[in-house]
Amino acid sequence: MRRIVGMCLLALSLAVPALAEPLTLAAGAGYKKPVTELAAAFEAKSGIKTELIFGNMGQLTTQVKGSGAIDLIVGEKSFLESAGVSVAGATTLGRGVLVVAWPKGKPLAAPADIAKPEVTRLAMPDPAKAIYGKAASQYLERAGLAQAVAAKLLAVATVPQVTTYVQSGEVDAGFVNRTDALGAGDSIGGFLEIDPSLYSPIEIVAAPVSGAKNPEAAKAFLAFLGTPEAQGIKLRHGL
């Protein structure tokens, strides 16, 4: 009898994740690769299905506040707070690093080389809507380069769009995060990290959304972020 009861309890414990609602996680487009890998590893370990939404953080924060359909949001802590999204109970994924990347065949010896005449187009995420656009603007101002590059700047919505322009050679350089630059691999010429003292610290967090439909799954995902498996994924992606 004891063996039968034990087998029944085991069957019920395995069935619970499958019966749970999917975890819906939103993240900035610049973190698509690490978040996708983390979600896949979490799903494999927990059995909880994870649905992902990526995009511009300005649009995502609006959706978080208005839809009630998102359980977790991954983004920069101060950006989320300024957008009115609570970060209570958030878990830190890592520190965001601003880099300048270039296409194949157009190397930069130093970040300040973006002011040279041979760099005619310089892409960056929209400073009003993307944290790495804001960081790039801060860098340009603090490094005394803003006026020199003003006529070259091309602002786009997201970090991956900048990376796409760099990959295609449509721009001579672009500001992205280290995670996206690492993900681009040899499809770009290379990248250099920007001195972190020249822009505000970027703390990337996963924050549970108040009043979301699936708080228990969100709590389980945040706990998973502290495991060695998750730590290894984050490190591989430059976090």
Give the pLDDT confidence of 76-108 residue by residue, as tens digits: 998 899 888 888 899 999 999 999 999 999 999
Give the SS3 label for residue 175.
strand
Q: DSSP character for 53?
A: E
Q: Average pLDDT of 115-127?
A: 96
Q: Which domain holds residue 66?
A: 2-95+202-236
Residues 21 and 110 placed together within one structural domain of the fold: no
pLDDT score recorded for residue 1: 40
Model confidence over 189-221: pLDDT tens digits? 999 999 999 999 999 999 999 888 899 999 999
- H/E run at residue 24: strand 23-28
Q: Are residues 105 and 131 in the same domain?
A: yes
Are 82 and 128 part of one and the same domain?
A: no
Same domain, 103 and 169: yes
Could you tell me if 104 and 193 lie in one domain? yes
pTM summary value: 0.78
What's residue 210's pLDDT?
86
The reply to whether 191 and 104 lie within a common domain is yes
140 is written with which tokens? Answer: 């340009």
Q: Most distant CA pair in the chain: distance in Å?
A: 82
215 shares its domain with 183 = no
* Residue 206 and residue 133 in one domain: no
Examine the domain organization and report whether 170 and 212 are in the same domain. Answer: no
Q: Are residues 63 and 19 in the same domain?
A: yes
Residues 214 and 165 reside in one and the same domain: no
What is the identity of the amino acid at 113? D
The CATH number covering residue 178 comes to: 3.40.190.10
Same domain, 133 and 172: yes
Q: How many domains are there within the chain?
A: 2
16 appears as a binding residue in the annotation? no
pLDDT band, residue 20 (cuts 50/70/90): low
pLDDT in tens, 140-189: 999 999 999 999 999 998 899 999 999 999 999 999 999 999 999 999 99
pLDDT digits (tens, 9 = 90+) for 44-82: 999 999 999 998 887 888 888 766 789 999 999 988 998
